[in-house]
Structure 1
Amino acid sequence: MAKILILANNDVGLYKFRKELLIELVEENEVYISLPYGDYIPQLEELGCIFINTSISRRGTNPVTDLKLLMKYRQIIKNVKPDVVLTYTIKPNVYGGVACRLAKIPYIANVTGLGTAVEKEGILQKITLNLYKSALKKASCVFMQNKENEDFFKEKRIIRDNSRLIPGSGVNLEEYSLLKYPSDKEINFLFIARVMKEKGIDQYLEAAKYIKKKYSQTVFHVLGFCEQEYTNKLERMEELGIIKYHGMQKNVRKFHAISHCTIHPSYYPEGMSNVLLEAAASGRPIITTDRNGCREIVDNKVSGYIIEQKSTEDLIKKIEEFLKLSIDMKMKMGIEGRKKVEKEFNRSIIIHAYIEEINEVLISKQAKKE
């Protein structure tokens, strides 16, 4: 049995978006997962993964803490002796990649999004890009989740001919099956994301305030962890009856069931939006921004609408356009979104790509031994 080590920064993403890959991998391999402890660790262990508790400061930039993470990865690699390492998100990609290079272990990285550290020009961007360049230089494969990110990394000479484009994390089409479209006596809009500025929450709340006053039959829902700076604002708007805040939700399917449209006005540097993939798979029209990681998932005016980034006016305009559609047209939009996801974003595409790359690494390793 081959040993596969996975380095990730949280249990939620690993379970929700990579569960199917893990199920495939544990059948014929020993699979180790290195990440901080969380609520989904028992489920990951039930799948057959061997858990290694690894503390990560996801947003911190303390070099001492990051050096400790690098040393921890080096120790884990020394103990596990993996045949191949899979890494996800910035810190596991960077420090895991460096640790693998030093240990001469094959590794496959997945750039799940550039993050603000890379997107905003400045000293932090330069440092992060240099770290990426060092970490990904010897990677067997670097999975990129959208073409714009891939082009940017090639332009900066972080990757050359070792990259492969995949459609994000894809979506499980059985788990997110096509839902019956609800009646339009009341129109429900969903915002599903961390409640933070870069996810477009300000535009959503401002649009909700305007639309609610003009169209009383509309309901604006907010789902997700709330950053402290927005707590009071959400409470006030809920008291005024403008929104309904539901907090963090483990299962969003019941909300998709009552929803008519998912609004994702994000301008955060994402790889490919899982929120939009799941909404489209459920047969719900989507309204989202004209930026990489979002625009790829919607065909404008066919399965939803594309809006200008940071533009409340454009968001309001598109919501009004949507509201004027007949229920049959709204339903048709949702079905078109489902068709697009089935064709382009089936999670099996990602699983196949990973199995292909892992097998190539293992075959190459075996050939060297012989």
Structure 2
Amino acid sequence: MKILVLANFGMGLYNFRKELLEELIKQDHEIYISLPNDEYVSKLEELGCKFINTPVSRRGTNPITDLKLLMKYTTIIRSIKPDLVLTYTIKPNVYGGLACRLANVPYISNITGLGTAVENGGLLQKITLFLYKISLKRAKCVFFQNKENKEMFIKKDIIKGNYKLIPGSGVNLNHYTLLEYPSNHNINFLFISRVMKEKGIDEYLDAAGYIKGKYPNTVFHIVGFCEDSYEGILREMQEKGIIKYHGKQNDVREFHKFSHCIIHPTYYPEGMSNVLLESAACGRPIITTDRAGCREIVDESLNGFKVKQQSSQHLIKTIEKFLKLNHKEKKQLGLEGRKKVEKEFDRRIVVDAYIGEINKALR
């Protein structure tokens, strides 16, 4: 069978869907991937995927650009004639879903997060939810990554057919193995994310400035692509010795090796935080926001701590709470996190759920 996958960037497709693609190729399906060209496309092609270069403005709201994307998807579907289409993230879900409806092709969508357009309310929220309603109407299955997203779509009468809750993208437990917990000489905190406001970087920097002054044996690391507005701030704080900025990295496991705790104070509307799943899999305690997509991964005081969103003071108090733990207690938090992801967030759970729905859709 021909299966077309619509996504918005190669890194996400490779890092979080690779095992599903491998399984589908193993089952002799012909896999086409439609997304913008990036450094991960060659890796996806090595798996056996056939690439179609498709520009996607991930955060843009220009209706002309979005109309062009709909037309592009329509052209691709007419050309390939897929037996099934899989869509991920907002724009492929919406415009890919519409294109599938027009072509009468079965499709399965994954709500990987609602995005700021829905989170912030107003006219843009109404437009986005309306587009979701018409684009998901004939989906063979809609996968949700957290309960709140699912309940909102039900409450707003956006979905009525087949839908399922899955544990985010899951985590590859063979790739993210349990790492030895580091010694207690210097305590290394780690922030892994795009450096942007909604990911909680302001709160992290506030906490780093306060904690570093009070506890000199702490080190605050930042890994991730930096948006222009934060470049100067990071440079200044690094020169003062408050933080260590490592830029964008391809393999974060090297940083988990020396980290004692992951701090993820995001208030971005995520489906399920892959950063937290990977960190827990490596046996690292978690401090994160008490919101959908994050709270599901933390059992309070068992494998980490939850903080109020956009509250630097609560984050500081929670970091101090963590610092007061002895080495054995910190290590135990990480071990409990590993147990939790093994039980609830193994990527095999997600792959199996997809294979089940794909087989039903292709009958």
**Which TM-score band applies after superposition, normalised by the shorter structure?**
over 0.9
* Matched residue, 1:141: 141
> In the TM superposition, what whole-angstrom CA distance separates every residue of 1:263-301 from its partner, at most 9, and x where no partner exists?
000000000000000000000000001100000001110
Instruction: Tell me the secondary structure at the aligned position of residue 60 of structure 2.
Output: coil
* Matched residue, 1:63: 63
Instruction: Tell me the secondary structure at the aligned position of residue 25 of structure 1.
Output: helix
* Matched residue, 1:198: 198
* Matched residue, 2:314: 314
* Matched residue, 2:174: 174
Cα deviation for residue 163 of structure 1 reads 1.1
* Matched residue, 1:300: 300
* Letter in structure 2 aligned against 1:26: I
Name the CA distance, whole Å, in 1 between partners of 2:288 and 2:356.
33
* Letter in structure 2 aligned against 1:271: G
> In the TM superposition, what whole-angstrom CA distance separates every residue of 1:142-180 from its partner, at most 9, and x where no partner exists?
000000000001111111232110000000000000000
- Within the alignment, does 1:154 sit opposite 2:150 as a pair? no
* Letter in structure 2 aligned against 1:349: I
* Matched residue, 1:74: 74
* Matched residue, 1:9: 8
- Within the alignment, does 1:338 sit opposite 2:338 as a pair? yes
Name the CA distance, whole Å, in 2 between partners of 1:302 and 1:350.
25
* Letter in structure 2 aligned against 1:39: E
> In the TM superposition, what whole-angstrom CA distance separates every residue of 1:299-337 from its partner, at most 9, and x where no partner exists?
110100001111111111110111111100000000000
* Matched residue, 1:36: 36
Instruction: Tell me the secondary structure at the aligned position of residue 293 of structure 1.
Output: coil
Tell me which stretches of 4 or more aligned residues in structure 1 moved more than 4 Å: none
* Matched residue, 2:96: 96
Name the CA distance, whole Å, in 2 between partners of 1:236 and 1:57.
32
Name the CA distance, whole Å, in 2 between partners of 1:60 and 1:211.
37
* Letter in structure 2 aligned against 1:196: M
Instruction: Tell me the secondary structure at the aligned position of residue 58 of structure 2.
Output: coil
Name the CA distance, whole Å, in 1 between partners of 2:162 and 2:247.
40
Name the CA distance, whole Å, in 1 between partners of 2:223 and 2:257.
14
* Letter in structure 2 aligned against 1:18: R
Name the CA distance, whole Å, in 2 between partners of 1:21 and 1:93.
18
* Matched residue, 1:48: 48
* Letter in structure 2 aligned against 1:17: F
* Matched residue, 1:286: 286
Instruction: Tell me the secondary structure at the aligned position of residue 109 of structure 1.
Output: strand
> In the TM superposition, what whole-angstrom CA distance separates every residue of 1:7-43 from its partner, at most 9, and x where no partner exists?
0000000000001111001122000000010001111
Alignment of 1:188-337 (within 5 A): 188-337=188-337
Name the CA distance, whole Å, in 1 between partners of 2:184 and 2:271.
33
Instruction: Tell me the secondary structure at the aligned position of residue 189 of structure 2.
Output: strand
Instruction: Tell me the secondary structure at the aligned position of residue 143 of structure 2.
Output: strand
* Matched residue, 2:86: 86
Q: What is the aligned-residue identity percentage?
A: 67
Name the CA distance, whole Å, in 1 between partners of 2:306 and 2:54.
40
Greater CA deviation, 198-207 or 160-169? 160-169
- Within the alignment, does 1:25 sit opposite 2:35 as a pair? no
Q: Which ranges in structure 1 are unaligned for 5 or more consecutive residues? A: 364-370
RMSD: 0.5
* Matched residue, 2:128: 128
* Letter in structure 2 aligned against 1:277: L
* Letter in structure 1 aligned against 2:136: L
Instruction: Tell me the secondary structure at the aligned position of residue 230 of structure 1.
Output: helix
Name the CA distance, whole Å, in 1 between partners of 2:357 and 2:162.
11
Cα deviation for residue 60 of structure 1 reads 1.0
* Aligned residue-pair number: 362
Name the CA distance, whole Å, in 2 between partners of 1:78 and 1:347.
32
* Letter in structure 1 aligned against 2:12: G
> In the TM superposition, what whole-angstrom CA distance separates every residue of 1:50-99 from its partner, at most 9, and x where no partner exists?
00001111111111111111011011001111010000000000000000
> In the TM superposition, what whole-angstrom CA distance separates every residue of 1:122-158 from its partner, at most 9, and x where no partner exists?
1111111110001001100000000000000111111
* Letter in structure 2 aligned against 1:157: D
Q: Which ranges in structure 2 are unaligned for 5 or more consecutive residues? A: none
TM-score in terms of structure 1 length: 0.97
Instruction: Tell me the secondary structure at the aligned position of residue 258 of structure 1.
Output: coil
- Within the alignment, does 1:353 sit opposite 2:343 as a pair? no
* Matched residue, 1:109: 109
Name the CA distance, whole Å, in 2 between partners of 1:352 and 1:124.
35
* Letter in structure 2 aligned against 1:51: F
Instruction: Tell me the secondary structure at the aligned position of residue 362 of structure 2.
Output: helix
Name the CA distance, whole Å, in 1 between partners of 2:230 and 2:45.
35
* Letter in structure 1 aligned against 2:342: E
